[in-house]
């Protein structure tokens, strides 16, 4: 088995250790579980990114039933508009 060492601020280590130990695990157990999950999923088992305010608002609107409904053709039209706008900006930038 490999041995892992990490530099962690004392305050973070103290709080994290208390939380981990309150579940009946050791810090080594928690690190082993974390590393095993990463190896199994080939990804970090947590979300490190915060959603933008626009995304948060969209989630809140969806949960409250305040959603805008559209057809597939409506979505295609929006995509065409975006594409036309992007092409126009690229053409303007090239001049």
Place of tokens 């990463």: 38
**Residue range 26-72, pLDDT digits in tens:** 999 999 999 999 999 999 988 778 889 999 999 999 999 998 888 99
pTM of the model: 0.51
31: burial class by Cβ within 10 Å (0-12, 13-18, 19+)?
Answer: middle
Residue 70: domain span? 53-94
Asked if 58 and 90 sit in the same domain, the reply is yes
Question: d(Cα 9, Cα 49) in Å, to the nearest integer?
Answer: 22
Asked if 2 and 38 sit in the same domain, the reply is yes
Question: Which CATH number do you get for residue 34?
Answer: 1.10.1220
Asked if 2 and 45 sit in the same domain, the reply is yes
Q: How far apart are the first and last CA of the chain?
A: 61
3-state SS of 38-70?
HHHHCCCCCCCCCCCHHHHHHHHHHHCCCCCCC
């Amino acid at each position: 088995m490999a041995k892992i060492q990490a530099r962690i601020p004392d305050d973070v280590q103290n709080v994290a250790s208390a939380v981990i130990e309150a579940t009946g695990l050791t810090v080594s157990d928690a690190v082993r579980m974390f590393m095993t999950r990463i190896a199994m999923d080939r990804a970090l088992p947590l979300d490190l990114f915060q959603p933008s305010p626009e995304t948060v608002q969209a989630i809140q609107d969806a949960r409250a039933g305040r959603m805008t409904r559209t057809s597939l053709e409506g979505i295609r039209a929006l995509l065409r508009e975006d594409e036309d706008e992007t092409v126009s900006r690229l053409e303007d930038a090239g001049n």
